[in-house]
Amino acid sequence: MLFLLGFVIQYAAHGQIIKGTVIAGGSLTQVEGDEIKGWSQFGFTGGLGAIVPFGKNKNWGANLETVFSPKGSFQKKQYEYDSLRGTDEYRLRLNYFEVPVYITYTDKDVLTFGLGGYWARLVSAYEHEHSGYQKPYMDSVAFNKNDWGFLVDVKVRVWKHLHINVRYSQSLMSIRERYFDADDIRKQKNQVISLRFVYIFNEGKRERGQEQ
């Protein structure tokens, strides 16, 4: 990630063509290790990015983004309150400032594949357990401030500079350890599926300049 970041900065310093991007979309998330199944937490994501083309035909790209990335999990109430467990309603909302760094390859100027990683900084957290009958676990064990992970990315051009982007990302290290029972200790990790619209500026600018 540091190498790719340095690559982008170096190209910018030498006046190379950099494609700017505007990103907006939504995501479905879950947390591995929280006893809740399903991609049940929805959030809006968006931000800005830069692409530095390289390679003989400029179909490779070094990508850098800065995006707002909400993560977490959700389970609605399954049964009514009892004296032992309360209800099993649960909501976790983790808001991150995220910096994805990745390499892409574009085939025939339409389909783009990406692979890389991200660093995310936690800016706010909200956890609501058992309809409020139980204190949130984060009161005793806080979430890690940093989240490091990998991403797989596919982008399809749909109209001129507009692309549709599908991305899967997952934490590589735990964001928190949670004790459910004395013998049940789980390392929790973020998992995210995103559907985003990406508008890319400066596409084709280098090619037109070369033809002139």
User: Which structural domain, as residue segments, surrounds residue 12?
Assistant: 2-211
- Pairing verdict, β 146-159 and 184-200: unpaired
Give the mean pLDDT of 142-167.
96
The pTM (predicted TM-score) of the whole model is 0.85
- Count structural domains, the chain: 1
- For 185-200, what is each residue's pLDDT tens digit? 889 999 999 999 999 9
CA 129 to each of CA 72, 73, 91, 148, 185: distance values in angstroms, whole numbers, following the listed order: 13, 11, 7, 26, 18
Domain with residue 21: its CATH number is 2.40.160.20
- Number of other CB atoms surrounding residue 85 within 10 Å: 11
pLDDT at 207: 44
